[in-house]
Structure 1
Amino acid sequence: MQIEAIHATPGYSGFFFDDQRAIKQGATQDGFTYDGDPVTDGFDEIRQAGETLIVDVELADGSVHRGDCAAVQYSGAGGRDPLFRAEAYAPVIEGSVAEELVGRDARDFLANAELLEELEVDGSRLHTAIRYGVSQALLDAAARAEGRTKTDVLADELDTEPANEPVPVFGQSGDARYANAEKMFIKGVPVLPHALINSVEKIGPDGEALLEYVDWLADRSLELGPEGYDPRFHIDVYGMIGEIFGAPYDRDEVIDYFAALEEAAAPYPIQIEGPMDVGDRADQIEAMVELRDGLRDGSVGVDIVADEWCNTFEDVRAFVDAGAADVVQIKTPDLGGIHRSGQAVRYCRGTDTRAYLGGTCNETETSARACAHVALATDAAQVLAKPGMGFDEGYMIVENEMRRTVARRERAQRLANTDEVTADD
């Protein structure tokens, strides 16, 4: 079925763009905003409204299929593409991108998505947000043209075996780290709470505030969680452990702190995302390997999660090959085309690194649903509840999309089995 037209409409995403460097350098909060001047190129304010480009792909049968361009909350940081401005990029989608895709067969999802990865405009690759959003619409169009789920289209293209039940969802609390964690306990969320530990104030000058919080998590989960509840704690510290302790990361003081985190989380496992941010990929990998080796030598069972400087498919491969993390976050908007996120999950197969299909609070419900299919198609270790920082909405969107898809695939399989029996008779 042929692609007839492509349109782009500027809109809002599920959260905000934040200048991470300005925040790390001590910008103070003023209500929901921050005081001070931005330091990252492209920002007018330290916090500003998130943007998306709503992409519509029209097919020959008159159907319209949507994808949403999105960029992470901390755009322009850690080696990522610059701040995404929807108005500036709409002409690119309706111009150069449409010129390449209109007239092509919608069923050729992987070929169409790879074309976007190779396309250059004025000598530069398309912004990751454009590749991300347009590829979502292409996936939806391919599923329509083939009469199958997006999970099945992806699994065939990536040569993977889809999950037969929803992938564990990782809840993100935002700054409401106590109230939202309690909501997660009540709903039995399998991985939680993120906690947004992005300042010395939140972690404590010696890390004591985080230890108290983890201890509270363990106690409160026992009080509120459903019977048999066995969560995994996942805390994003935005490099703050590195800020308060410094290198080397395999020394006793650092390892003892991680041992204290493990003890506070007991009886549940805990993983720490972004323990340090040292400024570039090679040094970040070296620091993560040093910490991971130190934890192993000290028999400390805390897993570490790669985030900063682990953005592209090539970055994921470098962290996995170096054995730099127990878990890598595959930050979906940063990889460009949505199929690239699936390929990154697949690359973790057969290694001792688990794949966390992440992303950002600054996406949309459309991109979140598309990512749910990537998670199912690749059977990722966990998938982020998104968009937004309210938790409930993102959890509902991602969890329900997976449940609906699993149920649909089960019905299709039962029907196929019935038809086989009838044919045999």
Structure 2
Amino acid sequence: MELTGIHATPGYSGFFFDDQRAIKQGAQQDGFTYEGEPVTDGFDEIRQAGETLIVDIELADGTVVRGDCAAVQYSGAGGRDPLFQAEEYAPVIEGPVADELEGRDATDFLENAEALEVMQIDGDRLHTAIRYGVSQALLSAAAEAQHTTRTDVLADALGTEPATEPVPVFGQSGDDRYNNTEKMFVKGVPVLPHALINSVEKIGENGETLLEYVEWLTERSQELGPDGYEPRFHIDVYGMIGEVFEAPYDRDEVVDYFADLEDAAAPYPIQIEGPMDVGNRADQIDAMVELRQGLNDAGVGVDIVADEWCNTFEDVRAFVDAEAADLVQVKTPDLGGIHRSGQAVRYCEGTETRAYLGGTCNETETSARACAHVALATNAAQVLAKPGMGFDEGYMIVENEMRRTIARREREQRQTGTDEVAADD
């Protein structure tokens, strides 16, 4: 079945774009916004409304499928593509991208998605958000044309066996790190709470505020969680441990702090995302290796998660090859085509590094559902609840998409088995 039309409509994403550099340099919050001037190219304000491009692809039978272009909250930071502005990029999708894809066979998902990866305009690759959103629509088109699930299309493209149970969902609390986390405990969320520790104020001058928060997590999870609840704590510190303690990261002061975090979380495992941000990929890998080696030598069981400077497929590969992290975040909008996220998860197979299929609060319900299929197709270690920072909506979207897909696949497999028995009779 042919792809017959591609359209792009500017819309809103699930959160906001934030100028991370300005925030790290001390911009003060003013209610929900920030005071001061932005410092990252493209920003008019330190916090501004998130944007998306809604991509509609028409098929020859009149079916219309959708994907949403999205970029991370901290666009333009850590080596990422520049701020994504929907009005600017809509003509690209309806012009050169449409010219490239219209007339193609919808069932050729991998070939169609790869065409976007190599496509250039004036010598530049397409913005990652464009590749991300259009590939989601291409995935839906292939599933519709083949009358199957997006999980099965991806599994065929990636050569995987899909998960038969929902992948553990990672809930993110945003700045409301107490109330939203209590919601997660009540619902028994397996991985939590993210916590958004992105300033010295939130971690404490000597890390004491974070330690107190982890102690609270342990106590409150036991009070509110369902019977048998065994959460995994995952906290993103946005490089703040590096800001507080500085290099070298294998020295006793740093290792002892991680040991204190482990003790505060006991009996539950804890993983720390983005412990430092040293400004480029090579030095970030070296710093992460140094920290990981120090923790291993001391027998400290805190897992560390690569985030900053781990954006593209090539970045994921570099962190995994260097054994720089226990987990790497596969930040879906930053990898471009959605199949590239699946390939990045697969690259972790057989290594010491687990794959966390992440993304951003600044996506949409459409991109979040698409990512749920990547998680199932690759059986990732965990998958982010998104979009938004309210928790409940993102958790519902991702968890329910996985559950309904697993149920559909089970029904279809039972039906296939019944048909085969009937044919033998």
TM superposition score category, shorter chain reference = over 0.9
2:294 maps to 1:294:
yes
Could you say which residue in structure 2 is the equivalent of 1:206?
206
2:399 maps to 1:399:
yes
Could you say which residue in structure 1 is the equivalent of 2:129?
129
TM-superposed CA distance for 1:360, in Å, is: 0.1
User: 2:420 & 2:70 partners in 1: Cα distance?
Assistant: 44
Aligned residue type for 2:385:
A
Could you say which residue in structure 2 is the equivalent of 1:326?
326
Q: Secondary structure at the match of 1:234?
A: strand
Could you say which residue in structure 2 is the equivalent of 1:345?
345
Could you say which residue in structure 1 is the equivalent of 2:32?
32
2:15 maps to 1:9:
no
User: 1:397 & 1:144 partners in 2: Cα distance?
Assistant: 20
User: 2:267 & 2:185 partners in 1: Cα distance?
Assistant: 15
Q: Deviations over 1:205-236 (max 9, x none)?
A: 00000000000000000000000001000000
User: 2:423 & 2:348 partners in 1: Cα distance?
Assistant: 41
2:216 maps to 1:216:
yes
Q: Secondary structure at the match of 1:319?
A: helix
Q: Secondary structure at the match of 2:390?
A: coil
Could you say which residue in structure 2 is the equivalent of 1:181?
181
Aligned residue type for 2:32:
F
User: 1:421 & 1:8 partners in 2: Cα distance?
Assistant: 47
TM-superposed CA distance for 1:140, in Å, is: 0.3
User: 2:252 & 2:245 partners in 1: Cα distance?
Assistant: 11
User: 1:242 & 1:3 partners in 2: Cα distance?
Assistant: 49
Could you say which residue in structure 1 is the equivalent of 2:375?
375
TM-superposed CA distance for 1:417, in Å, is: 1.0
User: 2:138 & 2:410 partners in 1: Cα distance?
Assistant: 24
TM-superposed CA distance for 1:269, in Å, is: 0.1
User: 1:134 & 1:415 partners in 2: Cα distance?
Assistant: 33
Could you say which residue in structure 2 is the equivalent of 1:424?
424
TM-superposed CA distance for 1:239, in Å, is: 0.1
Could you say which residue in structure 2 is the equivalent of 1:241?
241
Aligned residue type for 2:338:
I
TM-superposed CA distance for 1:422, in Å, is: 1.2
Aligned residue type for 2:362:
N
Q: Secondary structure at the match of 1:14?
A: strand
TM-superposed CA distance for 1:123, in Å, is: 1.1
TM-score, length basis structure 1:
1.00
Q: Secondary structure at the match of 1:241?
A: helix
User: 1:350 & 1:109 partners in 2: Cα distance?
Assistant: 26
Identical counterparts, % of pairs: 84
User: 1:181 & 1:45 partners in 2: Cα distance?
Assistant: 29
Aligned residue type for 2:309:
W
Q: Deviations over 1:24-49 (max 9, x none)?
A: 00000000000000000000000000
User: 1:424 & 1:226 partners in 2: Cα distance?
Assistant: 47
User: 2:160 & 2:270 partners in 1: Cα distance?
Assistant: 28
Could you say which residue in structure 2 is the equivalent of 1:64?
64
2:305 maps to 1:316:
no
Q: Secondary structure at the match of 1:205?
A: coil
User: 2:63 & 2:313 partners in 1: Cα distance?
Assistant: 32
Could you say which residue in structure 2 is the equivalent of 1:361?
361
User: 1:2 & 1:221 partners in 2: Cα distance?
Assistant: 51
TM-superposed CA distance for 1:421, in Å, is: 1.3
Aligned residue type for 2:20:
Q
User: 1:86 & 1:122 partners in 2: Cα distance?
Assistant: 19
Could you say which residue in structure 2 is the equivalent of 1:160?
160
Judge which range, 415-424 or 342-351, deviates more: 415-424
TM-score, length basis structure 2:
1.00
User: 2:417 & 2:69 partners in 1: Cα distance?
Assistant: 39
Q: Deviations over 1:327-347 (max 9, x none)?
A: 000000000000000000000
User: 2:157 & 2:293 partners in 1: Cα distance?
Assistant: 36
Could you say which residue in structure 2 is the equivalent of 1:251?
251
TM-superposed CA distance for 1:423, in Å, is: 1.5
Q: Secondary structure at the match of 2:415?
A: helix
